[in-house]
Amino acid sequence: MYTAFFVGTAGSGKSQLTATLARYLKVYELDVATLNLDPGVIRLPYAPDVDVRDYIDINEIMTEFELGPNGGLVAAVDLITSESPTILEELKDRSPDILLIDTPGQMELFAFRPTGVIAAKEFGGDRCVLVNLMDANLCQTPFGLINSLTLSLSVYMRFFFPQLNLISKIDLIDNNTREEIDKWLEDNYVFEDAINSQITGERREMAINLLRIINDLHLLAETFPLSSKANVNIDQLYAKLQLIWQGGEDFQVEDRVVH
């Protein structure tokens, strides 16, 4: 089974992309299933094949442990780990070729707590790709983009999986800015020039150093814009996923995970 985890800040478009990519793959008659790991979501733009909400009821948790919405969500996400055997059973029954995994709205609850890495180990299958979404609204300046890429570097450190970084909702950005972003992504020296001309002082030094690390780890080369709503680069995303799923180095998901 090939899997893709969608992670990213709240509202970056994980659920919408899960819906759009599942629909796209079904057009090619591929055997694709979706797994929703967000116990707190109320409405989804797709009907998940397997849904964590069937096992974890956030309202019940809030009442039982006398928690507010934030505490309830943290407890609910942490509970995913104990429900994973049942979820795995359901997945085994369904046994798709491709599994798209939508993760909790607030990325820190998933990516930066034990649940994320445990879920990656449990549900990651033979070949797992991490798809990290960066909201285009936050990537319009060299500073914004490097800041978002630094967060994706942090995600990479945590999971150490093959990772794609998407500048999501690119349809919301004007054409001139999109062209600028494309130039920064194509050539890290152009990106450095933009940082040098638009950021000053110690922040500039920091941004340049971070860019070099991100580029050395090939994270910049695997960064591209996408829109789930306007269908921009969905084909490119699938092509990149296929390359990693079917080619590339052999690895065991379990070897990659650190707590």
Under the binding rule (CB under 6 A), the answer on residue 73 touching ligand GDP is no
We find the least distance from the C-beta atom of residue 254 to ligand GDP, in angstroms, to be 27
Q: Which residue has the tokens 């638009």?
A: 198
Spell out the residues 6+ positions from residue 206 whose beta carbon is closer than 8 angstroms to its own.
none
Please tell me whether residue 12 binds ligand GDP under the rule CB under 6 A.
yes
Q: Count of residues for the chain? A: 259
- Cα dihedral 123, 221, 235, 249 sign: negative
Judged by beta carbon, residue 140 or residue 188, the one nearer ligand GDP is 140
% helix, strand, coil for the chain, step of 5: 55, 15, 30
Answer for which of 3, 15, 84, 115 binds ligand GDP (CB under 6 A) is 15
Give the DSSP letter of residue 121: H
Q: How far is the CB of 168 from Mg ion (least distance, A)?
A: 12
**Quick check: 165 binds Mg ion (CB under 5 A)?**
no
Residue type, 196: N
DSSP 46-103: S--SEEGGGT--HHHHHHHTT--HHHHHHHHHHHHHHHHHHHHHHHHHH--SEEEEE-
Is 133 in contact with 168 (CB distance < 8 Å)?
yes
Interacting span for ligand GDP (CB under 6 A) from 52-60, 117-125, 142-150, 225-233: 225-233
Structure tokens at 103: 């993760």
Name the residue nearer to Mg ion (CB basis): 105 or 225. 105
Distance CA 152, CA 241 (A): 17
Please report whether residue 96 would count as binding ligand GDP according to CB under 6 A: no
In the shown chain, the binding pattern of residues 138 to 177 toward ligand GDP, with x for contact by CB under 6 A and - for none, equals ------------------------------xx-xx-----
Inter-residue contact 177 to 235 (CB < 8 Å):
no
14 part of the interface to ligand GDP, by CB under 6 A: yes
User: Which of ligand GDP, Mg ion, none does residue 233 bind (CB under 5 to 8 Å by kind)?
Assistant: none
Is residue 227 a contact residue for ligand GDP (CB under 6 A)? yes
Q: By CB under 6 A, is residue 47 in contact with ligand GDP? A: no
Q: Which residue is nearest to Mg ion (CB)?
A: 15
Instruction: Give the pair of three-digit tokens for residue 195.
Output: 């940082």
| 228 is an interface residue for ligand GDP by CB under 6 A | yes
Site mask for Mg ion (CB under 5 A), range 79-118, x = bound:
--------------------------x-------------
Binding site for ligand GDP (CB under 6 A): 8, 10-16, 105, 168-169, 171-172, 227-229
Binding site for Mg ion (CB under 5 A): 14-15, 105
